[in-house]
């Protein structure tokens, strides 16, 4: 094993009946990194996390946490990890402080230590004002924050966060991003799963893209975007009935197929190089009698990457011929 890897998985496979939920997943998370696992519903994210955190046994393959084999020494692995599952695991009838104490006792921490650490975590996760209210009264964002605080009580070296922001409103989501960034800055290794491209893009130093149990791409956000090759031309037209003419006019300027969004007004395609394409596109569309609202050249987004790799967008909607999905956010 390589010394500076916090998580190492090689060829993990897990089936449920006929469903191969995880189909040969390999990944390497460097120590101290925030690592993103990006994939749509049913991709196998939760199953992978459960395999890495000893909650499930793989049919085959190996997983190491801090170099310790999950299969042969699960107790040592559990002592080193924190897990915040996809669904909040907080006890409704207890207060945050009582929830933290419960987990602290499960980890067999000293009473005084639990109390000090709880105070610190409640402050950090902005729950001081609610420390003595029962969780039943909490909003989704407060529950999530408490859930993550609980997974940090024993100072894990590797923290697993399964969809930490799903179901949160935009403001809570932003607050959660800032928290995760702080954890990363503190040197905690974080493996987070997400179906949101913007989340992976913002938080994760490296991203593994997973679909139907298979890793389909792996790299930094920039590396993944570079795979698409070149920039994207994006054109908004005024009238839907012009879409076919617009596609025909743009096709010679593009290096791949021209895709159209669900509304039928926004077209996009890869281009070989950004320069001079905008005036050419405007001229070609004008010659074709297409009214244009906007033409721009931009770097590819992770959504473009996902669409190219899988033929469907990350929100799981199947791609129609020439139809591109929306950004999953």
Ligand X SMILES: Nc1ncnc2c1ncn2[C@@H]1O[C@H](COP(=O)(O)OP(=O)(O)OP(=O)(O)O)[C@@H](O)[C@H]1O
> Cα separation of 191 and 199, whole Å?
13
Neighbours of 234 (CB within 10 A): 17
Among 39, 82, 96, 141, binds ligand X (CB under 6 A): 39
Partners of residue 8 on adjacent β-strands = 28, 64
Please report whether residue 21 would count as binding ligand X according to CB under 6 A.
Answer: yes
Q: Which stretch binds Mg ion (CB under 5 A): 20-28, 37-45, 97-105, 142-150?
A: 37-45
Burial letters 12-37, b for 16+ CB under 10 A, else e: bbbeeeeebbbbebebbbebbbbbbb
> Cα separation of 168 and 196, whole Å?
12
Q: Which stretch binds Mg ion (CB under 5 A): 11-19, 38-46, 260-268, 283-291?
A: 38-46
> Cα separation of 41 and 44, whole Å?
8
Q: Shortest Cβ contact with Mg ion: which residue?
A: 46
12 vs 235, beta carbon nearer ligand X: 12
Token pair for residue 325?
């999905």
18 vs 93, beta carbon nearer ligand X: 18
List all residues 6 or more positions away from 18 whose beta carbon is below 8 Å from its beta carbon.
none
Subset of residues 192 to 221 that bind ligand X, contact rule: CB under 6 A? 195
Please report whether residue 270 would count as binding ligand X according to CB under 6 A.
Answer: no
Q: How far is the CB of 41 from ligand X (least distance, A)?
A: 4
Site string for Mg ion, 67-106 (x = CB under 5 A): -------------------x--------------------
Please report whether residue 167 would count as binding ligand X according to CB under 6 A.
Answer: no
Please report whether residue 41 would count as binding ligand X according to CB under 6 A.
Answer: yes
Question: Is the separation of the CB atoms in 163 and 193 below 8 Å?
Answer: yes
Residue among 204, 202, 199 nearest 166 (CA): 199
**Which run of H or of E encompasses 121?**
helix 111-124
Q: Which stretch binds ligand X (CB under 6 A): 14-22, 124-132, 302-310, 321-329?
A: 14-22
Question: Is the separation of the CB atoms in 219 and 29 below 8 Å?
Answer: no
The entry of Mg ion, ligand X, none near residue 39 (CB within 5 to 8 angstroms by kind) is ligand X
39 vs 61, beta carbon nearer ligand X: 39
Please report whether residue 268 would count as binding Mg ion according to CB under 5 A.
Answer: no
The entry of ligand X, Mg ion, none near residue 308 (CB within 5 to 8 angstroms by kind) is none
Please report where in the chains the tokens 């001229």 appear, as a residue: 283
> Cα separation of 231 and 179, whole Å?
32
Please report whether residue 46 would count as binding Mg ion according to CB under 5 A.
Answer: yes
Token pair for residue 254?
């593009």
Site string for ligand X, 86-125 (x = CB under 6 A): x---------------------------------------
Which residues are at the interface with Mg ion (CB under 5 A)?
45-46, 86
Which residues are at the interface with ligand X (CB under 6 A)?
16, 19, 21, 39, 41-47, 86, 195
């Amino acid at each position: 094993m390589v010394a500076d890897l916090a998580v190492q998985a090689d060829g993990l496979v897990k089936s449920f009946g006929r469903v191969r939920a995880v189909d040969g997943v390999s990944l390497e998370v460097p120590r101290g990194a925030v690592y993103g696992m990006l994939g749509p519903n049913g991709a196998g994210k939760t199953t992978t996390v459960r395999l890495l955190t000893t909650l499930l046994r793989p049919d085959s393959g190996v997983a190491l946490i801090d170099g310790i084999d999950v299969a042969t020494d699960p107790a040592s692995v559990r002592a080193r990890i924190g897990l915040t599952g996809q669904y909040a695991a907080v006890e409704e009838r207890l207060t945050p402080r009582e929830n933290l104490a419960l987990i602290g006792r499960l980890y067999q921490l000293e009473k005084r230590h639990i109390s000090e650490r709880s105070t610190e975590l409640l402050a950090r996760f902005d729950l001081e004002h609610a420390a003595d209210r029962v969780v039943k009264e909490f909003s989704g964002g407060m529950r999530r924050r408490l859930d993550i605080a609980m997974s940090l009580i024993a100072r894990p070296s590797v923290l697993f966060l399964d969809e930490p922001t799903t179901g949160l409103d935009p403001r809570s989501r932003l607050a959660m991003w800032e928290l995760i960034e702080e954890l990363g800055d503190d040197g905690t290794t974080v493996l987070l799963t997400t179906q949101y491209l913007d989340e992976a893009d913002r938080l994760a130093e490296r991203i593994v893209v997973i679909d139907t149990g298979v890793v389909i791409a792996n790299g930094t956000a920039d590396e993944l975007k570079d795979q698409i090759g070149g920039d994207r031309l994006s054109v908004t037209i005024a009238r839907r009935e012009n879409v076919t003419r617009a596609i025909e006019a743009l096709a010679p300027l593009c290096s791949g197929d021209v895709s159209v969004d669900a509304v039928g007004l926004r077209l996009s395609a890869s281009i070989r190089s950004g320069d001079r394409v905008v005036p050419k596109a405007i001229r070609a569309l004008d010659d074709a009698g297409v009214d244009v609202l906007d033409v721009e050249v931009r770097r590819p987004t992770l959504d473009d990457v996902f669409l190219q790799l899988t033929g469907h967008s990350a929100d799981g909607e199947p791609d129609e011929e020439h139809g591109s999905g929306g950004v999953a956010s």
